[in-house]
């Protein structure tokens, strides 16, 4: 039934995404004259950050937050965690997707309850399109379009929160009845804790069902695999980010997987911006297109379909190089060894002998999730 409703790892795609200097286009190869936010020839409103700029952005955010909250209470966004700061970094919203909890807090000295109310309202009504929200600054959130949390949170009257007036009333209720305080290094934090509905994960899955269905059909990749990857990578959190520079639902890194998809699949120059990858449609398309590349280019010599399936999943996390290094240091010999083994032997090797411990756990986790989605 879940399937009917339905669509970083720190080393995500960092090994497997190298490609020849002049790669052959392998899908939909007509040059595109309109690439939206990814037109890198002068019509782009967004900037592609260099690695140094990206790291500097994270460091700046960390410094600003620690000035207000102290070292012990520094918190930043992650793959399964949304964190957004407001009001000179004195106020923050934190959504723990794994545990279904929302925390809105402030260390503001002046009018903390009014500050907290505004932050609660912005959190409850934040847009479903993450490209509209700047996670790396204290800018306010534009409250337009369908709220991302619609259906994932109920107010004190057990109603969905779609409009500003209802968000305002619920914020008043929370501050009047649920306000808590906590002593910090730098003063006192005022906060409220909001429980998400029991099926909040299914609510998010439902939001992306059409996008996953379309991408699966477009690239001939199983829907349940895409669902399993999204659940593993982000718990269906479209705001997901990682220190490795991965963005969005499928945790795509622009300069590796993103570049491969642009060059090999889309026939576009350059790499996608973070705004492009924060868009759920673009992110799911790009992540699924990368599976197409793994299947038809990097791992095309793998003969057994089940072995190829295992190898693709492992390569999405630890790279094609990591998959081959599990079997031999020489890539050609590794491919020969891989093809001589039975799928269960390949699975054992990838979950016990892969050079990276995270990749060993990743394959097992994705396959377990895939079974869940296949039977729903």
Q: Are 354 and 322 in contact (CB under 8 A)?
A: yes
- Residues 371 and 231 grouped into a single domain: yes
- Residues 182 and 56 grouped into a single domain: yes
Please count the other Cβ atoms lying within 10 Å of the Cβ belonging to residue 4: 8
Write the CATH number for 240: 1.10.530.10
Residue 40 pLDDT > 70, yes or no?
no
> pLDDT tens-digit profile of 171-220?
999 999 999 999 988 789 999 999 999 999 999 998 999 999 999 999 99
- Residues 22 and 6 grouped into a single domain: yes
pLDDT band at 53 (very low <50, low <70, confident <90, very high): confident
- Candidate from 27-31, 64-68, 332-336, 362-366 with smallest mean pLDDT: 27-31
Please give the residue range of the domain that contains residue 269: 2-48+202-375
- Candidate from 35-39, 192-196, 227-231, 277-281 with smallest mean pLDDT: 35-39
- What's the Rg (C-alpha) of the chain? 22
- Candidate from 55-59, 73-77, 259-263, 264-268 with smallest mean pLDDT: 55-59
- Residues 278 and 368 grouped into a single domain: yes
Average pLDDT over residues 231-235: 96
- Residues 139 and 78 grouped into a single domain: yes
Q: Where is pLDDT greater, at 142 or 335?
A: 335
- Residues 367 and 241 grouped into a single domain: yes
- Residues 160 and 242 grouped into a single domain: no
Number of domains into which the chain is organized: 2
Average pLDDT over residues 232-258: 94
- Residues 38 and 74 grouped into a single domain: no
Token pair 């718990």: residue:
235
Measuring CA to CA, which residue among 312, 289, 316, 290 is closest to residue 301?
A: 312
Domain end call among 164, 198, 232: 198
Q: What is the 3-state secondary structure (H, E, C) of the chain?
A: CHHHHCCCCCCCCCCCCCCCCCCCCCCCCCCCCCCHHHCCCCCCCCCCCCHHHHHHHHHHHHHHHHHHHCHHHCCCCCCCEEEEEECCCCEEEEEECCCCEEEEEECCCCCHHHHHHHHHHHHHCCECCHHHCCCCCCCCCCCCCCECCECCEECCCCCECCCHHHHHHHHHHHHHHCCEEEEECCEEEEEEEEECCCCHHHHHHHHCHHHHHHHHHHHCCCHHHHHHHHHHHHCCCCCCECCCCCECCCCECHHHHHHHHHHHHHCCCCCCCHHHHHCHHHHHHHHHHHHHHHHHHHCCCCCCHHHHHHHHHHHHHHHHHHHHHCCCCCHHHHHHHHHHCCHHHHHHHHHHCCCCHHHHHHHHHHHHHHHHHHHC
- Residues 218 and 363 grouped into a single domain: yes
- Residues 82 and 94 grouped into a single domain: yes
- Residues 276 and 312 grouped into a single domain: yes
- Phi and psi at 296, nearest 5°, equal -105, -5
- Residues 360 and 225 grouped into a single domain: yes
Question: Which pTM does this prediction carry?
Answer: 0.84
Domain end call among 146, 178, 198: 198
- Candidate from 63-67, 285-289, 324-328 with smallest mean pLDDT: 63-67
Domain end call among 198, 230, 250: 198
Residue 334 pLDDT > 60, yes or no?
yes
pLDDT band at 46 (very low <50, low <70, confident <90, very high): low
């Amino acid at each position: 039934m879940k399937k009917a409703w339905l669509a970083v790892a720190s080393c995500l795609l960092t090994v497997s995404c190298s490609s020849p200097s002049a790669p052959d286009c392998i899908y939909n190869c007509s040059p595109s004259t309109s690439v939206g936010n990814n037109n890198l020839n002068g019509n782009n409103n967004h900037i592609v950050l260099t690695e140094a700029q990206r790291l500097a952005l994270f460091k700046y955010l960390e410094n600003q937050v620690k000035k207000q909250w102290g070292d012990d209470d520094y918190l930043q966004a992650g793959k399964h965690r949304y964190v957004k700061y407001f009001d000179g970094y004195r106020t923050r919203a934190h959504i723990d997707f794994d545990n279904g909890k929302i925390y809105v807090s402030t260390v503001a000295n002046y009018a903390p309850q009014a500050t907290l109310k505004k932050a609660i309202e912005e959190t409850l009504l934040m847009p479903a399109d993450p490209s509209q929200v700047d996670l790396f600054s204290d800018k306010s959130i534009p409250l337009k379009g369908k709220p991302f949390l619609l259906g994932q949170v109920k107010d004190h009257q057990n109603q969905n929160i779609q409009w500003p007036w209802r968000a305002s009333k619920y914020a008043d209720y929370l501050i009047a009845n649920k306000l808590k305080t906590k002593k910090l290094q730098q003063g006192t934090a005022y906060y409220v804790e909001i429980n998400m509905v029991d099926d909040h994960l299914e609510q998010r899955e439902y939001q992306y069902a059409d996008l996953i269905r379309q991408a699966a059909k477009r690239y001939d990749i199983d829907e349940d695999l895409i669902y399993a990857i999204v659940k593993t990578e982000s718990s269906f959190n479209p705001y997901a980010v990682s220190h490795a520079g991965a963005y969005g639902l499928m945790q795509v890194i622009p300069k590796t997987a993103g570049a491969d998809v642009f060059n090999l699949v889309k026939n576009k120059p350059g790499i996608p911006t973070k705004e492009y990858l924060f868009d759920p449609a673009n992110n799911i398309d790009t992540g699924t297109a990368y599976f197409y590349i793994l299947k038809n280019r990097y791992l095309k010599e793998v003969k057994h379909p089940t072995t190829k399936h295992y190898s693709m999943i492992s390569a999405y996390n630890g790279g094609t190089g990591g998959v081959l290094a599990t079997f031999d240091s020489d890539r050609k010999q590794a491919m020969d060894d891989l093809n001589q083994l039975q799928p269960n032997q390949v699975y054992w090797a990838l979950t016990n002998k892969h050079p990276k411990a995270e990749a060993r756990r990743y394959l097992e986790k994705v396959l377990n999730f895939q079974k869940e989605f296949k039977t729903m």
